[in-house]
Amino acid sequence: MDEQPLRIAVVGHTNAGKTSLLRTLTRRADFGEVSDRPGTTRHVERIELRVRDRAAVRFFDTPGLEDAVSLREHIDRIADAGTPPERIRRFLQGPEAHGVFEQEAKVLRALLDVDAAFLVIDAREPVLPKYRDEIELLRSCARPVLPVLNFVRDPASREVAWKELLAAYGMHAVVRFDAAAPFVGAERDLYQDLVTLLRDRRQALEAVVASLAQEATERRTAAAARIAELLVDVAALRRHVAAVDFEDESRRAPLVADLRQAVFDKAQRCASDLLALYRFRDDDASEAPLPLLEGRWSMDFFSPEAMKDAGLRLGKGAAVGAAVGVVADLAAGGLSLGAGAALGGVIGGAISQGLGPLGRKLLNTLRDVHELSVDDGVLFVLADWQWALVRALERRGHAAMSRIQVEPERGAGHSQALTAAVRATAPARSHPDWARAPGRHRMDDAPQRQQAVAEVARQIARAFDTGA
């Protein structure tokens, strides 16, 4: 990669989405101000895309062009000017550049001092004559300009009309983008198309593309590992309950609620870690509140409908209570989940006691101690939600103002991989000590736990690949 970062000015009409584009390209949700109000950006602001801790691209976010029609008429009247760039420089030396055309002057001054420019266009806008003047002004600076059509997913998009206008000015390389929900590969296309305009910077641009692809792979790997940590942690979670407390509903209910809350807290921490991994914020309500942050998981997480679906997808069927939202995790006298008929009475008792999908394991009838644990169905729902969250984050731009929609997807390959991930947590069932206590670090983990986490992570990664 070249020593000097590539310099790119981001230009366009007021409110076209320039700052939004830069938030997405640099993964900086806190950069600048994004608003529907016109003229939000009033000064040229600089932000860098860092690749492997080095500045690879230096972007310049410019104010919106507001009166290109009048400015073009003014520049056309400048006498004794030669080439278009010389006329622009003459204008910048005059008083109007610090007066009535101050905003436009900031844009043109920045454009003269960069390697190239992204012309951000709101594809929803009608193609008016003023945009022709803007294009001609920008081309007068004699810098390569790559048009970026923003908001092309919107039903009001006029993409075809905009492409016709751009083609009329010789701009045939056009990037389709959506700063709120980028297309898969759109970022790569942006830099690869720039290669056609900046052939002398090909090596630097190709290095950026390769590095961004590697970073995306590393994020997925880290996300799979974090979800695996959650599943193993929850699978190992236990609560020992004396029979006298267990049989009394008023004393049992708080114990069940405590275990549920522990699962919620662990799931929340995992979601927060995933948000941070993808450089989103979980504490900004206007940015992206998750359904789980609004408490929806407390209604859906252990619901009979979710457990029925999870049980069927795990392949256990209704024989062990999945159809009514209960799977009893029972080990007494050598019995296992495979002995569905023998467990019928115990399952019925669990249902009547209102345990829901929290499994009950009878550890020691002589000691009269019960053990509360979390069922495989809950693990599947956990994995499904976190997997869907990662997929939503991968498709979301850092300028998006709407709430993140986490909708678990349905696909045979994805379900099979998540099922394998849940089954890979089986060793944790015999190791309550694997449940991670607050403040405990991975370096404290036993090798067997690390091996289990690695296998679960491998299956989660496979779910990402099959769901792509």
pLDDT at residue number 143 = 93
- Order the strands of the 54-61 sheet from edge to edge: 45-51, 54-61, 6-12, 116-122, 145-150, 175-176
pLDDT value, residue 76: 84
Higher-scoring residue by pLDDT: 371, 56 = 56
| Amino acid at site 53 | D
Predicted confidence (pLDDT) at residue 97 exceeds the cutoff of 60: yes
Predicted pLDDT of residue 64: 85
Q: What is the pLDDT of residue 231?
A: 95
Is pLDDT of 107 > 60? Answer: yes
Q: Which helix (H) or strand (E) holds 94?
A: none
**What is the SS3 assignment for 54?**
strand
Q: How far apart are CA 136 and CA 75, in angstroms?
A: 11
Report the alpha-carbon distance of residue 102 to residue 63 in Å, rounded.
10
Residue 66 parent element (H or E): none
Give the pLDDT mean for 281-310. 46
Q: Which of 80-94, 103-117, 280-294, 321-335 comes out lowest in average pLDDT? A: 321-335
Whole-number Cα distances in Å, 167 to 68, 162, 173, 459:
20, 9, 9, 47
Phi, psi of 396 (to 5 degrees): -110, 135
DSSP 139-203: HTT---EEEEEE-TTSTT--HHHHHHHHHHTT----EE--SSSPPTTHHHHHHHHHHHH-GGGHH
Confidence of residue 311 (pLDDT cuts 50, 70, 90): low
Task: Say if residues 372 and 256 touch (Cβ distance below 8 Å).
Answer: yes
DSSP 398-447: TT--SPP-------HHHHHHHHHHHHTTGGGGG-GGGSPPTT--GGGS-H
Residue 261 has pLDDT above 90, yes or no: no
pLDDT at 251 > cutoff 80: yes
Burial 388-420 (b: 16+ CB within 10 A, else e): bbbbbbbbbbbbbeeebebebeeeeebbbbbbb
Mean pLDDT is highest, among 151-155, 224-228, 383-387, 434-438, for 224-228
What is the rounded distance in angstroms from the CA atom of residue 173 to the CA atom of residue 147?
Answer: 7
Q: Which pLDDT score is estimated for 385?
A: 84
Q: How confident is the model at residue 144 (pLDDT cuts 50, 70, 90)?
A: very high
Tell me, what's the pLDDT at 294? 34
Alpha carbon separation from 364 to 306, 331, 360, 361, 388 (Å, rounded): 31, 9, 12, 9, 39
Set out the domains of the chain in order of their start, with CATH numbers: 6-197 (3.40.50.300), 222-467 (no CATH)
248: confidence class by pLDDT, cuts 50, 70, 90: confident
Which DSSP state fits 390?
H
pLDDT value at residue 377: 80
Mean pLDDT over each residue of the chain, to the nearest integer: 76
Give the predicted TM-score (pTM) of the model: 0.76
Closest CA to 361 of 308, 422, 304, 430: 430
- Are 143 and 111 in contact by the 8 Å Cβ rule? The answer is yes
| pLDDT for the residue numbered 245 | 79
Give the model confidence (pLDDT) of 448-458 as tens digits.
999 999 999 99
The C-alpha atoms of residue 135 and residue 164 are separated, in whole angstroms, by: 13
Question: What pLDDT, on the 0 to 100 scale, is given for residue 409?
Answer: 58
Per-residue pLDDT band for 10 (boundaries 50, 70, 90) equals very high
Encode pLDDT of 151-207 as tens digits: 888 899 999 999 999 999 999 888 888 776 676 677 888 888 888 889 888 888 888
Q: What is the pLDDT of residue 8?
A: 94
pLDDT band at 239 (very low <50, low <70, confident <90, very high): confident
Angle between helices 102-111 and 84-93 (to 10 degrees): 130
* Mean pLDDT, rounded, for 208-235: 92
CB-CB contact of 434 with 396 (8 Å) = no
Q: Indicate whether 414 pLDDT > 60.
A: yes
33-42, 80-89, 218-227, 291-300, range with greatest mean pLDDT: 218-227
The C-alpha atoms of residue 402 and residue 360 are separated, in whole angstroms, by: 41
Q: Please write the tens of the pLDDT for every residue from 415-436.
A: 889 999 999 999 998 888 899 8
Range picked from 175-179, 340-344, 345-349 for highest mean pLDDT: 175-179
